[in-house]
């Protein structure tokens, strides 16, 4: 069965610092991978997705993620954190048999201090 | 274009009752999926509907059911509510059924269900 592990339930950075949110997946075949962001009292918004076209994926709001098959990782990064980036971030995976069903990690809460 | 709407946004029920949640997808979207979000279990897939048919189902008991109407609107029902059903229920719509990688899912704000 597919699974996703997000290392660190809470990450704190200073404004302007590098953001690194970690995600590892388990899959027997190359999966589709996603990062979503959730702001308080809101639904999920897609930041970016990997669908095997390119290993470095650029998303919205300056975020990007790199697919590393050898490490089964899909870490999310942003060079310079902004206060508005404070939110909860979810990594998700889907397999080719499961239609639209997404399997989510437990989430990482990002705090940004001034 | 309006986003995914879910009603009601907040709901309080007591154990043993049943509840119906509603989801209106983005205009033109024909696939609707439902997820349950809890602090303990995180986000879990409930089911997916396309063309009024359930296409995929997660690992939830039969108390959880859903349906989709001809206009693509969807409802989910939970019967005999338990305390553990307290959660944020999220609905997501996409243009078509099929692989998540090819059909971006747009999420609604969710319905916060509290079971007392």
pLDDT digits (tens, 9 = 90+) for A36-80: 999 988 899 999 998 877 889 999 999 999 999 889 999 999 999
> B100, B103, B107: best mutation site toward chain A, by most A Cβ within 10 Å?
B100
Looking at A1-15, A17-31, B42-56, B87-101, which range is the least confident one? Answer: B87-101
List, in order, residues 6 or more apart from B40 with CB less than 8 Å away.
Answer: none
pLDDT digits (tens, 9 = 90+) for B62-74: 999 999 999 999 9
Q: Within 10 Å of residue B34's Cβ, how many Cβ atoms? A: 24
Task: Give me the residue from A32, A41, A106 closest to B101, CB to CB.
Answer: A32
Share of chain B above pLDDT 70, in %: 94
Does the pLDDT value for residue A35 go beyond 80? yes
Looking at A28-42, A79-93, B97-111, which range is the least confident one? Answer: B97-111
Q: Do B103 and A42 touch (CB under 8 A)?
A: no
Give the per-residue pLDDT at B59: 92
Between the CA of residue B50 and those of A2, B22, B24, B70, what are the distances in Å?
23, 15, 13, 10
Residues of A in contact with B98 (CB under 8 A): 99-100
Put simply, whether A44 touches B (Cβ < 8 Å) is yes
Does the pLDDT value for residue B102 go beyond 70? no
Give mean pLDDT, residues A23-37.
Answer: 85
Give the per-residue pLDDT at A62: 96
User: Mind telling me how many Å the CA of A114 is from chain B's nearest CA?
Assistant: 28
Q: Which residue has the tokens 């095997």?
A: A52
Residues B20/B27, Cβ–Cβ less than 8 Å: no
Taking the C-alpha atoms of residue A106 and residue B92, their distance in angstroms, rounded to an integer, is: 18
Q: Do B109 and A94 touch (CB under 8 A)?
A: no
**Left if phi > 0, otherwise alpha if psi is -120 to 50, otherwise beta: which for B51?**
left
pLDDT digits (tens, 9 = 90+) for B15-61: 999 999 999 999 999 999 999 999 989 999 999 999 899 988 999 99
Q: Do B45 and A34 touch (CB under 8 A)?
A: no
Task: Give me the residue from B4, B56, B102 closest to A101, CB to CB.
Answer: B56
Give the chain A residue whose CA is nearest to the CA of B108.
A43
Between the CA of residue A106 and those of A51, A72, B37, what are the distances in Å?
22, 17, 10
Q: Which two structure tokens, joined as six digits, stand for A105?
A: 């990690």
How many inter-chain contacts (A to B, CB under 8 Å) are there?
72
Q: Do B109 and A43 touch (CB under 8 A)?
A: yes
Is the previous residue joined to B8 through a cis bond, with omega within 30 degrees of 0? yes
Q: Do A104 and B99 touch (CB under 8 A)?
A: no
């Amino acid at each position: 069965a597919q699974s996703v592990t997000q290392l660190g339930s809470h990450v704190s950075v200073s404004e302007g610092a590098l953001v690194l949110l970690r995600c590892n997946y388990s899959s027997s075949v190359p999966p589709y991978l996603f990062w979503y962001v959730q702001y308080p009292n809101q639904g999920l918004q897609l930041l970016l997705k990997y669908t095997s076209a390119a290993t470095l994926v650029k998303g919205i709001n300056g975020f990007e993620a790199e697919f590393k098959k050898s490490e089964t990782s899909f870490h999310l990064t942003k060079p310079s954190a902004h206060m508005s980036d404070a939110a909860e971030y979810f990594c998700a995976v889907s397999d080719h048999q499961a239609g639209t069903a997404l399997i989510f990690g437990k989430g990482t809460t990002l705090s940004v201090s001034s | 274009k309006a986003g995914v709407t879910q009603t009601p946004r907040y709901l309080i029920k007591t154990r043993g009752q049943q509840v119906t949640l509603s989801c209106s997808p983005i205009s033109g979207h024909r696939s609707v999926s439902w997820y349950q979000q809890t602090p303990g279990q995180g986000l879990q897939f409930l089911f997916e509907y396309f063309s009024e048919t359930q296409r995929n189902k997660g690992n939830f008991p039969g108390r959880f059911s859903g349906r989709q109407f001809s206009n693509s609107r969807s409802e989910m029902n939970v019967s005999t509510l338990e305390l553990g059903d307290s959660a944020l229920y999220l609905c997501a719509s996409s243009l078509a059924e099929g692989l998540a990688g090819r059909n971006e899912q747009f999420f609604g704000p969710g319905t916060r269900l509290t079971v007392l």
